[in-house]
Each structure stands twice: as C-alpha cells, then as structure tokens.
Amino acid sequence: MLVALLLTPLIAAALMVLVRRRVWLERIHALAALSGLAAGFIVAARVWRGDVPTAVGGLLRADGLSALMVVVITLLGAIAALYGLGYIRAEYDDTHLARVRSFFALFHVFIFTMLLAVTTDNLGIMWVAIEGTTLATAFLVNLHNTPRSLEAAYKYLILSSVGIALAFIGTALLYYAGASHAGEIAVNWTSLRAAASSLNPQVVRLAFAFILVGYGTKAGLAPMHTWLPDAHSEAPAPISALMSGVLLNVGLYALMRFKVVADIAVGAHFAGSWLLGIGLLSLAVAAAFLVAPRNYKRMLAYSSVEHVGVICMGLGFGGYWGVLGALLHVINHALLKSLLFILSGNILLKYQTTDIRRVRGLLRASPLTAGAFAAGTLALLGLPPFGLFMSEFLIFRAGVESGPVWVVILGAALLAVIFAGMLGSVNQMLYGAPPDHVKHGDLLRWSLAPLVVNFALLLVLGLTFPHAVAEALEQALRVLGVPRA
C-alpha cells in the first residue's frame, strides 16, 4: 500500500503527458487525487492499528509521525485538486492546453515528492524528495509566465537550493558523527536514533545547526523566509494552498526527525534553545510585515512565517504539552492556510488584483467567499471556537510551565500586533462599495464545497478532542520520544 500511495500521483503525472484532451486531463487529475486520499487513509489506519508498514527493503516506512503527515498531504491535496478543476478552467481556456497540462502534471509530481519525503526511512532519499518539491513547484510558481512570477520562481529556486545544500551538509555531518563514534551505520533515521546516545556530541551540534538553517529555509523560518511571500503570492491559488498548508510542514517534519536524534545525543536544551530563538524571530519578522500589509496573498504568506514560528516555539518549549500543541498546530494551520489561499483565488478571479486597497465591498460582491474568508481569518488569528486557539493555548501553556516566561510574554505581544494588523486589513476588503466593474455573485461556488471539510475539522478540533485524533497524536509523540503527561 505504501508503494501504491506513491505510484498513484506518479502514474497520473505520466498519463497527463500522453493525453491530448482537456476532459481526460481533468478526469485523471480528480481520480488520482481521490485515489491518493483513499490510499493515504488506508496506510494511516494500518499505522494507527499498531502496524509499521515497510516496503522496498525498508527504504519506505510509515510510523505514527509519517501517518499524520500522509493524512494531511492527501486530504489537503484532494481538496486543492478539486478546487483546481474550476480555478484552472476560469484562468485558461482550451487554447492554453499545454499550460493546463503542465499544471495538472506538476501538481501530482509535487504530491509525490511530499509523500516520498514523509514515508522514507532513509535520510538521503528524504533530502532528494524535499529537493524534488522545489523543482516541481518552481515551474508552478511561474505558471503565469510574467516578470513577477519569473522573479519569484527564480528566488524560490535559488534560496531553496542553497537551503537544501546546507541540509545535505548537516545530514552528512550527522552520518559522520555516527561513523566516527559508533562504527559504520546506515543513513536511516531508525539506525541513527538507535545509535544516538553514542554519537559525537560536538559534531551533532554542528550538524543540527546546518539542518536547522537548511530545512528551516524550506519551512519558511526567518531569516531564511524571503522566498516565501513572493512564491506564495505568484503561484496559482491551489498551489499556494499546498505550499503554505503542506510543504512548510514537510520542512518541519524533517526538523522534527533530526531533533529527536540531537536531543538524545546532546540533550533537549540545545535544539530547544535554537528552535525557541528562531521561532520568536519568525514571529517578530511576520509582525513587522503584517502591521499594514498591502497584498492579501503576501499577507497570508507572512502569516505562514508567523505560524511556523509558533510551531517551532512549541517544539522548543518541549515536554508533552509543547510538542502536542506543535503537532496540533501543524494540523490546524494546514487546514486553515489551505482554506484561505483557495478563497484568495476566488477573490483574485473576482477583482483581478491582489492589492488590498483595490478590494472593497467583498461582502456585497461575493457573500459566500467573503463570509468564509472572514471566518477563516478569525480562526487564523487564534479566536475560539476554532482549533488554532486550542493548539496555541497548549503551546503557551507549555511555555509558562517550562519557561522562559519572557519568551511567552514577547510571543503573545507579537501575536497581538499581528491580530490588529490582519484584522484591520481584512475589514478594509470586506466592507464598503465594490468597484463598478465587479459583478455581484460568487465564482466557482461548487469548487468551494470541499472547504466544508476544513471548517468542520477546525470546529471539531476547537470544541472537542476526538479519540481517533488523540490516538494519532499520541503515536506521533511516541515516535518523537515524548513521554505521556
């Protein structure tokens, strides 16, 4: 089933290169997304029943943390794929079939690379897969082929490649730390974790610094975040939804894997301090750019920098509640950011601009889109009864318990600045009279239907804690070596 999970998007991408009719491109696209969702849930269900499925001689392996990521990738991949059918039809007619084919094919290559990254036990293959996400999405960022999208794609490609090169150095150093102390060991996460207590601690410290900067670039952590606002604002809305909602979490997934080894080798304080510092810096950078944003897609992108910083703070505080809050925040942020970027696609199609100052009267022009965008923004700002409130509460509770308390106070103050800035900007978009050229009525109403799943899950995670979710998170916590509270 692991092999089937990975082959589904790969075969779909290959078939799309061969077909010449748009209707077949769309059918293959939708079928592959739904089949991948089914395969993802089957793999996750096996893991949650206590199995650890492996394949290809152990190169592929799914544990509790992998299962959580597989569900996030396949679920949000299916939602973005279904919305993408209507979105690409609105953007490109049949005279642009080559560009439509590129979008659908690269979409599934993107899904494949993310799935491979979270289901391999081999750290080298994980590195290759994460670099593969860069190559697939760079062309998608430049799908519109404008000077701005080309610049964004180029910046994304260069910075991500530099980051992934640093991550490679960190991976090589970690392997050297094992080979020099514990003898020859495989470059597998399970092998490194088993030998972690005998690794050279000085080399592990250096390796983790490279890995934090390298994979932190992919996760959008400041100050390596500079590619993110440009790429997310220029990419088509379904791709922005996946890049912000899922791809950043794949970078964090890699960091979590290496943090487990570093914690055993040199103690939790070392990695925790680095993560707290870089998480707080990400919050500060996001706050500076979200005081008075001018572009609503860039606003959402900087919000991603903020929330990745919050997740790092949870991992940095550590302990049961800190890591639980971080994992829960991964899920909530993925659901929310994919939802908001999809809605931003509707706003862009309606107003033909991403300038906040030129979007007025959204509530009158597109009531359904406006209502969902307003609710999603309030959820993103951490208000109850949505799930993000609960995950942020758990993270800051861990900070109050484990300290330092000044980090909690400063983090809360930065969140308040972000709250005021984003709320004011969204209010400008919602109210007033729409421009004369904007017609009344929501676009792509049926394409927005899958977003009901996002809202439902966010409400469930904010109001209750289902047993299935609790068990899934407990298994992920065990993988990360976090004892029960």
Domain ranges of the chain: 267-485
101: tokens are: 């084919």
In tens, the pLDDT along 371-400 reads 999 999 999 999 999 999 999 999 999 999
pLDDT (0 to 100) of residue 179: 66
Q: What percent of the chain has pLDDT over 70?
A: 98
Q: Check pLDDT > 70 for residue 182.
A: no
In tens, the pLDDT along 121-168 reads 999 999 999 999 999 999 999 999 899 999 999 999 999 999 999 999
Q: Choose among 43, 70, 45, 64: nearest CA to 55.
A: 43
CA distance 20 to 105: 13
Q: Using 50, 70 and 90 to split pLDDT, how confident is the model at 441?
A: confident
In tens, the pLDDT along 400-421 reads 998 789 999 999 999 999 999 9
207: tokens are: 């390796």
Burial 415-448 (b: 16+ CB within 10 A, else e): bebbbebbeebbeebbeeebeeebeeebbbeebb
Q: Using 50, 70 and 90 to split pLDDT, how confident is the model at 12?
A: very high
pLDDT (0 to 100) of residue 438: 86
pLDDT (0 to 100) of residue 95: 84
pLDDT (0 to 100) of residue 388: 95
CA distance 78 to 94: 23
In tens, the pLDDT along 230-288 reads 999 899 999 999 999 999 999 999 999 999 999 999 998 999 999 999 999 999 999 99
What mean pLDDT is predicted for residues 47-62? 91
In tens, the pLDDT along 104-116 reads 999 999 999 999 9
pLDDT (0 to 100) of residue 180: 58
pLDDT (0 to 100) of residue 478: 94
478: tokens are: 């065990």
Please give the model's pTM, rounded to 2 decimal places.
Answer: 0.96
Q: Check pLDDT > 70 for residue 474.
A: yes
Say what angle helices 97-119 and 22-48 make with each other, to 10 degrees.
10
266: tokens are: 């040199």
Length of the chain: 485
Q: Check pLDDT > 60 for residue 183.
A: no
Q: Amino acid letter at 469?
A: V
Q: Check pLDDT > 70 for residue 61.
A: yes
Residue matched to tokens 């440009």: 230
Mean predicted lDDT score pLDDT of the chain: 93
CA distance 284 to 290: 10
Q: Which residue has the higher pLDDT, 483 or 323?
A: 323
What mean pLDDT is predicted for residues 346-364? 93
pLDDT (0 to 100) of residue 290: 95
CA distance 200 to 474: 30
pLDDT (0 to 100) of residue 280: 96
DSSP 183-203: -S--SBHHHHHHTGGGS-HHH
pLDDT (0 to 100) of residue 34: 96
Q: What percent of the chain has pLDDT over 90?
A: 84
Measured in degrees and rounded to the nearest 5, phi and psi for residue 403 equal 75, 180
Q: Using 50, 70 and 90 to split pLDDT, how confident is the model at 175?
A: confident
CA distance 172 to 117: 17
CA distance 232 to 323: 27
pLDDT (0 to 100) of residue 416: 96
CA distance 99 to 141: 12
372: tokens are: 């969902």
